[in-house]
Each structure stands twice: as C-alpha cells, then as structure tokens.
Amino acid sequence: MLHRDSRLLVLLLGLLTAAGPFTTDTYLPSMPAIREHFAVDMAAVQLTLSLAFFGGAIGQLFYGPLSDRFGRRPLLIAGLTLYVGASAACMFAQSIEQLIAARFLQTFGSICCPVLARAMVRDLHEREAAGRVLALMGMVLSIGPILAPIVGGLLQANFGWRASFVFVTAYGLALLILVTAFLGESVRQKDEQALRPRRILETATMLLRSRVFVGYMLINCCLFGGLGAYLSGIAFVVIEVLGIPAAYFGAVFGVIALGALSGYTLSGRLSTRLGLDRTLEVGTFGVAAGGVLLAVFAFLGFAHVATLIAPMMVFMCFFSISGPQAIAGALTPFPRVAGTASSLIGFFQSLTSATLGMAVALAFDGTPRALAGFVCVMGLAALAAYRLIVRRIPEAERRHVHA
C-alpha cells in the first residue's frame, strides 16, 4: 500500500478527484447531439447535468459519516462500483429520462472520490501541509478539464454521444482496480458512534455553528457556484452562439482549463510563502476580477471566442488558487469528524453548483450573458465571503483544532 508521503499516493488521490471533471466534461460536447437524438429541448438536456449535481449533493451526505464509521477505503470501493455500473447504464440509455436517472446515479457513485480523497488528506496532514497536498492533487485534477472535452469532442465527432460514456466507464473501472490494489486505510481510529442519528445531528450542528467552518465553506460554495454556471452554459455558448464545431469544443474548453492547471501549480507555492489565508485573499480577488471582466464583455455584446476564453482563464486560475486553501481551512480544525465535514462541504458545494447550473439553463437567451452574469455574481460573492467573514475571524480561532 502507498505511503502517506508518496507522490504516487498524491497522484492516485488526484486521479480520484478528477473523476468528476472526466465524468462531466467528456460528455459536454455531446449535449447538443443528445438534444437532437432524443428530440427534446435544451432544458431537458441540462437536467442530465443539474440533477446529477443534486445526486452528488445527496451522495456526499452519506459517504462522510459512513467513512468515519467504517473507513475511507471500503466506501471508495462501493462508490466506484456504483459509478462504473451507472456509467454503463448511461451508455445504453434509450430515452432522455433514462439518461437523466443514470447520470444521477453515476454522480451519486463518483462523488465518493472527492469527498473521501479530501478526508484522507486531512487524516494524514495538518493545515498548510493539507493545503499544499490538495493543491498538488488539484494539478492532477486539472488535467481532466483539459483532456476530457478534447477526448469527448473527438469521440462525438467520430462515434457519437454514447462513446463518451464508454470512456468514463473504462476510467471508473481503472480507478476501482487501482484503489483495490494500492490504497490503504487512512483512518487511525474509526468512530463507532458516527452513524447514530443524534451523533450526526450534533456533529453537523457543531460544524455549522463554527464561524471558521462556515466562512471557508461559503467561499468554496461560491467558487463552485461559478463553476456550475460555467459548465452548464459553456457547450451551448461555444457550439451554438459562437458557431464552433463540436470537434473543436474541447480545444476551447482545454485552453480555459490551462488556467486551472496554472492556478493549482501556484496555489501550493503561494501557500508556502504567504500562508493559507493570504493565498485565499489573492485567489478570491482574482475570481471576482475574472467574473467582472467576463460580464463586461458579454453585456457589451462582444460575443467572440477570445472574450470568453481570456476572462474564464483568469477566473479558473484564481478558482484553483482559492479552492484548495478554502477546503484546508474548513477541514483543519475538525480532524475527528473529517469525513462528515468533507461531506457537508461537498453537499453545499454541489447544491450551489446545481442551482447555478439550472439558473443558467433557465436564463439562457442565445447569448453569453446568462453564463457571464452568474459567474460574475459568484466571483464577487467569494470575495465578499472572505473579506466580510473569514478575514474578521481571529487567527487563533482559525487555527484552533477541536479534538
């Protein structure tokens, strides 16, 4: 089994967190083709994305407490098994309703990967060290948004929309084999009371009453709200508004994802030099700036690929600088309930993503304005959460560990 300081362990945890981007981003270029195949409107196809986010939100409420009780490894194996089966069901779907249901289960299964990978980092590392490891994992994760839409676009152009689900089925199966063969258990002492309803309620109440947990979690929710808005609208803006063929969609998406890769690369270095909170201040200012720039171009009528790519690269770069630090800041004070804490973060993160994704679908008017407007709002909200909540919490309170 891999050692806690092994680079291969960081790589495997990164590949686990990348399950989400690979699952979603691979089929994004196929969304217009899925709409045409099933003869449904845009809103129906968007449900394969937004309801899947809700599946992820619900799943995260289960995996954290269960992993505090039984360990991270068995829950990962169970979740990945469901993920592989649901991915195969997506591949064989005969109606949009079947595809929506299969996508819901697919995300319910795959969401175990980021929840339990984050909890394992907290099991093994402390505050700044956890932020650095999460940033390294993010570098691996960011490869997903670069490769997945390129692969998805090529599969769509050559084999049709079902091919993207063949790919993610194979990816999930590979992860299941790697986890079974190489990943050990990170929980030192399992909590036998973790699944008792009263204990779950007490733990959740304690976390949600903590200014530290809520402050950092709000930042993370705003970041993922902007990401959800972006993912929900990007395929329709690029393919239908800008008129770029589906085969080239992956190139546009991949260039934007390079911003995320650069951000994750910087995040670990900045946290070493500046500390977690100063890095988070830089990151939230950057996502707000990227969102504002995107909205200015969209509402002034500049519907061009360059006016989409440049601001979104800025947003994604600073999203990736902020995200690992926000998660590390929220998890660090709560080592004994890291699974439950990670679940709550993921639940509200997925809920925000799903809500913003549905909002973009409902507000889409054939222009980039809906996508840009909601990304802008979420970027500004992330900055506000840092400045109005986290920055005002005393340093000693942010670092205090609840035994």
Query: What is the average per-residue pLDDT within 252-260?
Result: 84
Domains of the chain: 7-184+196-394 (1.20.1250.20)
In whole angstroms, give the CA distance from residue 2 to residue 255. Answer: 33
User: How much is the average pLDDT of 223-252?
Assistant: 85
For residue 390, what pLDDT is reported? Answer: 93
Helix (H), strand (E) counts: the chain? 18, 0
**116-169 tens-digit pLDDT:** 888 888 777 766 677 777 777 777 777 777 788 888 888 988 999 999 999 999
Query: Helices 197-208 and 338-363, interaxial angle, to 10°?
Result: 70
The mean pLDDT of 346-375, rounded to a whole number, is 88
pLDDT tens-digit profile of 169-212? 999 999 999 999 988 887 777 767 767 788 888 888 999 999 99
Residue 321 scores a pLDDT above 90: yes
pLDDT band at 316 (very low <50, low <70, confident <90, very high): very high
Residues sharing a CB contact under 8 Å with residue 112, sequence separation 6 or more, in sequence order: 59, 63, 75, 76, 78, 79, 80, 83
Lowest mean per-residue pLDDT among 14-28, 160-174, 245-259, 347-361 = 245-259
Q: Within the chain, what is the greatest distance between any pair of CA atoms?
A: 58
Of the pLDDT bands very low, low, confident and very high (cuts 50, 70, 90), residue 4 is: low
